[in-house]
Chains A and B, each alone.
Chain A
Amino acid sequence: MNQTQEKAISCRELTKQFGDFVAVNKITFDVEAGEIFGFLGANGAGKTTAMRMLCGLSYPTSGQASVASFDVYKQQESIKKTIGYMSQKFSLYENLTVLENIEFFGGIYGLSDKELKLKSDELVSTLGLGPEARKLVGSLPLGWKQKLAFSVAIIHEPRIVFLDEPTGGVDPVTRRQFWDLIYAAADRGITIFVTTHYMDEAEYCNRISIMVDGKVEALDSPGNLKRQFNTDSMDDVFYQLARGAKRSAD
């Protein structure tokens, strides 16, 4: 790991404008390598837009940003090879089996047949899938689907993985198990960049940022934020900040 000195993600006054509407307004922050970074904000605060810029899905209007020290303007292709991504919507193919999904996404990321075989065996045993591995993904319960989607998102061992509200609609027990997977990935050195609406999940992060109206209004560890806002719950911190929002949810 010669990258330890470098930031996983680094933004300087990153801005995205759609016409007159400033979706993301000069955000500046760093994410350390190996960190679990929570990216919070109400709906419409600009989280997804910021994330899309970092993933190479859209170009910033102004400002600087680099992901794994690749520039978001010029090196989108290199970024795409280095990151993993799990979208808000469930994004595996429902009419493909578990193994076929693994083969497909592994193949897209250029894994060799040997690596693929190894990875799918490992995945099936970690997730405890067994015979279900040959079933269509559509027939699996939601919790399993989400865990599978996460495992597939990091199948190519990316340096950074972006998770866009990964646990939407999942029960608390499964959410806890999901976070076990996230911790395991972080232990392997994968930097986690996660957006969420659940404040209990925010507590699991090393550091969190809270976006309000396109700006990053707070950034620190959950403990420090609670002290700063003089409260003992993350919910409170979030409400104190979000109350000032002018934009309504989208």
Chain B
Amino acid sequence: MFFTSWRAGQNARPTNVAVTVMKQLVVFIRKEFYHVFRDRRTLLILFGLPTAQIMLFGYALSSEVKNISLAIVDFSKDVASQQIVGKIQSSTYFTIQQSTMSYGDMERAFLKGKIKAALVFPTDFYDDLQHVKKAQIQIITDASDPNTATTITNYLTRIVGDYQQEMNQNARVPYQIVTEMRMLYNPDMNGSLNFIPGVLALILMIVCTTLTSVSIVREKELGTMEVLLVSPFQPILVLIAKAVPYLVLSLLDFVLILVLAVFVLHMPIRGSVSLLFAESTLFIICCLSLGLMISNVTSSQQVAMLVSMMGMMLPTILFTGFIFPLENMPVPLQIIANVVPSRWYYLIVKAIMLKGLGLGAVWKETLILMGMTLALLGISLKNFKIRLA
């Protein structure tokens, strides 16, 4: 929109001026691309950083629990306990460490950290199941990490529940209420599904602000900005010529992340891809404006880099909501979170990619992002002019 409004303004002038301006812009934008493709540091930020981050968050930092070391303490040793153990073995979540052991062995294994959980079948498990129709199993977990312990308990309860359900199909027990769990939008409890929209927001935020602010500040630092300002090239065009290449490159970055997310991390895109694209373009423009603003208040590349990488990283990680749920934060922090653009973009991406919703569901977030973009753009344009006077 930044671009179209500028063009609308140009049409009012004689055409030859518009042609000159267009040619100047093309020359300038070409120069920006030379800079990008010849600077290893820029290329690293542009393509290395996103790849590393998406892989890191997708694989290493996932919140799901896999390969849990589990001990089976089976005093019953019967058909039912064997079948349950078989079911556990076939799931990818557990590795069974030891099949039989005493309580004493089990405790030592917990203390050494060899096992995270134990499943105990009492001696009369099968008898009770057959005759009383009610048997007990004990699940013991290492709750020094409470989240993992809860997850493990849930997994085991579910497996036992499954077994119980299968049994009931054959038995003639009339009524039994079985709780059935369904994890919506993410049935496999795949932790990276929640991370990817967040990482996407984080990466775009950092890459866009860093590249724009550094590329403008570099011209200030090297003295070329002064030469540009003395030339007939309009200052506003300097900003446009800086914004356009980085918009294109950021969109490329977005595509890169999306491709990695879909094909490597198996992230679904349930909603409209073009809507996702449009929303991402809006978010990128918002981040570019933030970059312009940073470039207005800094005068060395190091500072610009520090502000845009370090300064943006922490609030984005904290207040986007993909790592720490915003609902649990104290109200003042929730209010701060509202001014972080990535928070809104994260909601939009989740809605489109995971829930398959359309613009009707995210129009509010979209409007907020638009408002932020206009405000940031307005502030940076105004300051840019003041600097020239």
Interface residues in chain A, defined as those with a beta carbon under 8 Å from any beta carbon in chain B: 55-59, 77, 80-81, 83, 85-96, 100, 103-105, 107-110, 136, 153, 162
Contacts and interface: CB of A to CB of B under 8 A. Distances in A.
Contacts of B223: 87-91
B224 A93 contact: yes
A25 B232 CA distance: 28
A10 B12 CA distance: 35
A110 B224 contact: no
B232 A80 contact: yes
Given A87-B227, A93-B35, A95-B38, 9 more contacts: A57-B229, A80-B232, A81-B232, A88-B223, A89-B223, A92-B224, A108-B233, A110-B23, A110-B24
B230 A80 contact: yes
B236 to A, nearest CB: 13
A95 B222 CA distance: 12
Nearest to B389: A59
B39 interface: yes
Interface string B26-39: 11101100110011
Contacts of B233: 108
Contacts of A92: 224
Given A93-B224, A95-B35, A108 B28 contact: yes
Contacts of A56: 230
Interface residues of B, number: 25
Contacts of B230: 55-57, 80, 83, 85, 162
A103 B28 CA distance: 10
B389 A87 contact: no
B23 A107 contact: yes
B228 interface: yes
Given A89-B223, A91-B222, A103 B27 contact: yes
Contacts of A83: 230
A108 B24 contact: yes
Residues of B contacting A: mostly: helix
Nearest to B234: A77
Interface in B297-337: none
Nearest to A103: B27
A212 B31 CA distance: 41
7 contacts: A56-B230, A57-B229, A80-B231, A85-B231, A93-B35, A96-B34, A107-B27
B226 interface: yes
Interface of B: 20, 23-24, 26-28, 30-31, 34-35, 38-39, 222-224, 226-233, 388-389
Contacts of B232: 77, 80-81, 108-110
A109 B226 CA distance: 15
A57 B28 contact: no
Q: Which of B38, B39, B223, B230: most chain A CB closer than 10 A?
A: B230
B45 to A, nearest CB: 16
B226 A108 contact: no
A241 to B, nearest CB: 28
A80 B232 CA distance: 5
A108 B20 contact: no
Q: Which of B223, B228, B389: most chain A CB closer than 10 A?
A: B223
A80 B234 CA distance: 10
A89 B220 CA distance: 11
A96 B52 CA distance: 29
Contacts of A81: 232
A107 B24 contact: yes
Contacts of A57: 226, 229-230, 388
Nearest to A83: B230
A100 B30 CA distance: 10
A89 B23 contact: no
B238 to A, nearest CB: 10
A234 to B, nearest CB: 28
Nearest to A86: B227
A105 B229 CA distance: 12
Given A87-B223, A91-B224, A96 B31 contact: yes
Contacts of A104: 27-28, 30-31
Q: Which of A77, A88, A95: most chain B CB closer than 10 A?
A: A95
